[in-house]
Structure 1
Amino acid sequence: MKKIIVAILLVITMFTITTPALAGDIANGAKVFSANCAACHAGGLNVVNGAKTLKKGDLEKYEMYSLEAVKTQITKGKNAMPAFLGRLNEAQIEDVASYVLAQAEKGW
């Protein structure tokens, strides 16, 4: 009985751990990231503000660990980060956001 309860709790835990839904083309996102973002964010780091990296822990800490939050940051910019809407189209922004989250999940 104890083993069944542990197994059930394990299954419940596996299904409640959330990862962001990725909708973009990650391969294209990698290309766009390389051409537009890597100068400041190579390896998931941040050369302007070292505390706010693209690593999963920092994205979670600053409530940026979702596709919509990353897309908004890329689109509108914030603080030292420029807005990329106009330089990148909506599909490219979604691809980059998907790539960033996929890399964060992998640990960069």
Structure 2
Amino acid sequence: MKKIFSVILLGIAIFTFAFSSPALADAASGAKVFTANCAQCHAGGKNLVNAAKTLKKEALVKFHMDTAEAIIAQVTNGKGAMPAFKGRLKPAQIEDVAAYVLDKADKNWK
């Protein structure tokens, strides 16, 4: 009986860790990182380099950048005129920036 109980507990623990979401990103911390690293080109959700590719909700959807994973990949690796921030920002900071961008896009950058 004790062995069965241990196996059940182990199974629950494995299931919990395997299917739990990663630590929640912090949009408030993301705001600070965004202001220090991104606002030069993306103030108010705009894009000074390519006016069509803003951080507004419609543009994020149009260019398939409307998920945290897509934004994290873009910020980490860069693309085109956007520099890569891998090595300059910690992964948690990049996750926070993604959370901030998605939050602001949902609020139309207000």
* Shorter-chain TM-score range: 0.7 to 0.9
2:66 is the alignment partner of 1:69 = no
Looking at structure 1, the residues matched to 34 and 67 of structure 2 have their Cα atoms a distance apart, in angstroms, of 17
Q: What's the RMSD between the two structures over aligned residues?
A: 1.1
Gaps of 5+ in 1: 1-22
2:32 partner amino acid: K
Alpha-carbon distance, 1:74 to partner: 0.3
How does the TM-score come out when normalised to structure 2?
Answer: 0.78
2:96 is the alignment partner of 1:92 = no
Alpha-carbon distance, 1:85 to partner: 0.6
1:15 match: none
Alpha-carbon distance, 1:84 to partner: 0.2
* Structure 2 residue matching 1:47: 3-state secondary structure: coil
Larger Rg: 2
- 4+ residue runs of structure 1 moved beyond 2 angstroms? none
Equivalent pairs: percent with the same residue?
Answer: 64
Alpha-carbon distance, 1:59 to partner: 0.2
2:88 partner amino acid: R
Structure of higher RCO (CA pairs closer than 8 Å, 6+ residues apart):
1
Q: Would you say how many aligned residue pairs link Structure 1 and Structure 2?
A: 87
